[in-house]
Structure 1
Amino acid sequence: MSKAYAFTRNGGPEVEAFVDRETPQPGAGELLVAVRAAGVNPVDWKVREGSPRFGAPKLPQVFGNEVAGVVATVGEGVLGFAVGDAVFGNPLTGGYAEYTLLAAAVAAHKPDDLSFTVAATLPVAAATAYDGVRQLGLAPGATLLVTGVGGGVGAAAAQIARAEGVRVVGVASAGKKEFVESLGAVPVASGPGFADRVRAVAPDGADALFDLVGGDVLREAASLVADPSKVITAADAGTATELGGAAVDRARTSAVLDAVADLARKGTLDPHVSRTFPLEQAGDALRAVEDGHAQGKIVIEVGA
């Protein structure tokens, strides 16, 4: 048996609980991983709430969609991984746990000079940012508008785009101004009228939008982009499509994980882990993201 943090039905924080479950056993093409760190993302609580976007979960469902850890058992047919290897990726059986499974085909080796804590921030937030910036294909000197730039995906997108010579205008709460500046982005305070504030620093608007908020914010921000095909979102695919844009096209490959790990190793990408929590405080870690005020990434640290 092993410990995991799960939700037992759809709802709010009251449906969360620690559960003892049989330690997952790897099938063909899978790795059993002793988790060392798990990233916390907004999708975690949105799935718990029962958003139809994510379908009906099998209950109880363990939280967490990105982990780093050590291979404990190798499933049949797996090549390129061995017991004791440090790895990271998207778990098949939840990340807020002592043990989980990874699909070997889309897992990656953790570089020795990258901590488990940093590696655990890469499979969702950094990989989504990387895929989105690739999808937009902006040339150096172009202007990218990022809404929700203060979160994990936004911070990574800003840094990746800046490294490619793209000017980034980032929308976030006024309290995150210094943080946004540290990403190399031009800060714009969120809230009513933010589009006017964007125009003040980018009179010609933006060449592209990477949205991480959705809804009315996405609609208002999209009005600043002349080409609707350069509007992408990781928050509200329906609205983006309605406006002529699209959802971020996720590659979900080990090659992308290797690429973002290399950016992190070089210092090009800093996930800005603002707080860490032990597994025993997984609920507190999730609240830190769910209240909407988290800056950068929150990580749950597990085991040795």
Structure 2
Amino acid sequence: MRAVRYHEYGGVEVLVVEQAPAPRPGPGEIRVRVAAAGVNPVDWNVRSGAVREMLPVDLPAIPGLDAVGVVDEIGEGVRGVGTGDRVFGLVGKGVRGAAGTGGVSGRGGVTGATAELAVLSAWAHAPTTWTDEEAAGAGLASVTAMGGLKALGPLRGRTLLVEGAAGGVGSAAVEIAVAQGATVIGTASERNHEFLASLGAVPTTYGAGLAERLAVLAPDGVDIVLDTAGSGSLADLIAIAGDPARVSTIADYANAQRLGVHLAIAEYDSTLLSEASELGRRGRYTPRIELAYPLERIAEAHAYAERGHTRGKIVVRI
């Protein structure tokens, strides 16, 4: 099969498109013929070698954790899905910190989603309302957003602040929270304010003066906070919420435990993916895609995403 691989740790220049052995599904897994795959921060954190002590991979490795495709082989014990079904989901078994720095498993170098064939360990049927590009961007973003939101308890009738609301996880969290009855305020740069409003959030800028801006936007106060940015603002977010128990982060691993906030971990859970799919079917959640690159331009896709400030997700068409 054709796949993106890297034979050594490094920058985007180590990414090559080449022939690779086709993976086979084990018990409880399925294989899909991939239509598109997502690009996530974990991809370049692992590829660069920045987290090799915590998350080593067998080289050569294939980047990518989430994909959409048509099922072409089913592992032992799998029920509820058949060959020819269109599904989206997650590659590997999941590792603590998957949203930001981890979530890979080495298996003879066949580890990732950015290939013609990929083995999924968690999946759901993709709603017909989503394009392949949208479905490719849904897997990791949706389970990460849901993990962060579930840590905060029921959402209906509460005011939620999402820090870093325009990114892949942040934009997913906004739509999912709005669908669950929350009033959502989202922080982002001014160029993304119209985008946030289209998702159902009240936009504001991040940084200095946030508490004062929120006093105007939410005179009765902010009930709960989800940090998806990991920009070092946790102490300020706790002050805004009034209690560290009312704050969760999916990105600031260094400060979460020290400050007593919830550290939400992306779970490789087919139930969560099915919840996201149902919201998609009902038109309540659509993964937002800023750019879709062809496979041959994988280095450009990684380089663009690595610069940060992506609006929604970057995906690669296979």
- Give the TM-score taking structure 2 as reference length: 0.86
1:205 Cα deviation from its structure 2 partner: 4.4
| Cα deviations by residue, 1:237-279 (Å, 9 ceiling, x for unpaired) | 2311211112114442211111101101211112122221111
Could you say which residue in structure 2 is the equivalent of 1:26? 25
Distance 1:209 1:51, change over 3 A: farther
Mapping of residues 30-49 of structure 1, within 5 Å: 30-49=29-48
CA distance in 2, matches of 1:152, 1:208: 20
Could you say which residue in structure 2 is the equivalent of 1:137? 153
Runs of 5+ in structure 2 lacking a partner?
93-110
Does 1:64 find its partner at 2:58?
no
| Cα deviations by residue, 1:102-138 (Å, 9 ceiling, x for unpaired) | 12xx222233454322222221102221232222124
- Give the TM-score taking structure 1 as reference length: 0.90
1:8 Cα deviation from its structure 2 partner: 3.0
Q: How many residues align?
A: 299
Does 1:5 find its partner at 2:32?
no
1:187 Cα deviation from its structure 2 partner: 1.3
CA distance in 1, matches of 2:266, 2:222: 23
| Cα deviations by residue, 1:36-62 (Å, 9 ceiling, x for unpaired) | 111122222222233438522222221
Could you say which residue in structure 1 is the equivalent of 2:104? none
Distance 1:234 1:71, change over 3 A: same
Contact 2:151 2:262 in 1 (8 A): no
Q: Partner of 2:8: helix, strand, or coil? A: coil
Contact 1:207 1:227 in 2 (8 A): no
Could you say which residue in structure 1 is the equivalent of 2:178? 162
Does 1:237 find its partner at 2:253?
yes
Does 1:74 find its partner at 2:74?
yes
1:216 Cα deviation from its structure 2 partner: 1.8
| Cα deviations by residue, 1:191-233 (Å, 9 ceiling, x for unpaired) | 4444443344235542111111224223322321112112111
Q: Which residue of the other structure, out of 268, 279, 282, is the alignment partner of 1:266?
A: 282
Q: Which residue of the other structure, out of 152, 157, 167, is the alignment partner of 1:151?
A: 167
Distance 1:7 1:87, change over 3 A: same
1:139 Cα deviation from its structure 2 partner: 4.2
Runs of 5+ in structure 1 lacking a partner?
none
Could you say which residue in structure 1 is the equivalent of 2:103? none
Mapping of residues 206-217 of structure 1, within 5 Å: 206-217=222-233
Distance 1:184 1:81, change over 3 A: closer
CA distance in 1, matches of 2:12, 2:3: 16
Distance 1:166 1:30, change over 3 A: closer
Distance 1:292 1:195, change over 3 A: farther
Contact 1:119 1:261 in 2 (8 A): no
CA distance in 2, matches of 1:204, 1:169: 13
The one-letter amino acid paired with 1:98 is E
Contact 2:90 2:140 in 1 (8 A): yes
The one-letter amino acid paired with 1:71 is V
Q: Which residue of the other structure, out of 118, 134, 150, is the alignment partner of 1:100?
A: 118
1:14 Cα deviation from its structure 2 partner: 2.8
Q: Partner of 1:32: helix, strand, or coil? A: strand
Root-mean-square deviation (CA), in Å?
Answer: 2.1
The one-letter amino acid paired with 2:72 is A
Contact 1:135 1:249 in 2 (8 A): no
Distance 1:180 1:193, change over 3 A: same
Distance 1:240 1:205, change over 3 A: farther
Does 1:298 find its partner at 2:311?
no
The one-letter amino acid paired with 2:91 is P
The one-letter amino acid paired with 1:260 is A
Contact 2:174 2:200 in 1 (8 A): yes
Q: Partner of 1:223: helix, strand, or coil? A: helix
CA distance in 1, matches of 2:79, 2:279: 25
Distance 1:210 1:7, change over 3 A: farther
Q: Which residue of the other structure, out of 73, 96, 117, is the alignment partner of 2:133?
A: 117
| Cα deviations by residue, 1:115-168 (Å, 9 ceiling, x for unpaired) | 322222221102221232222124433221111101011011111112222121
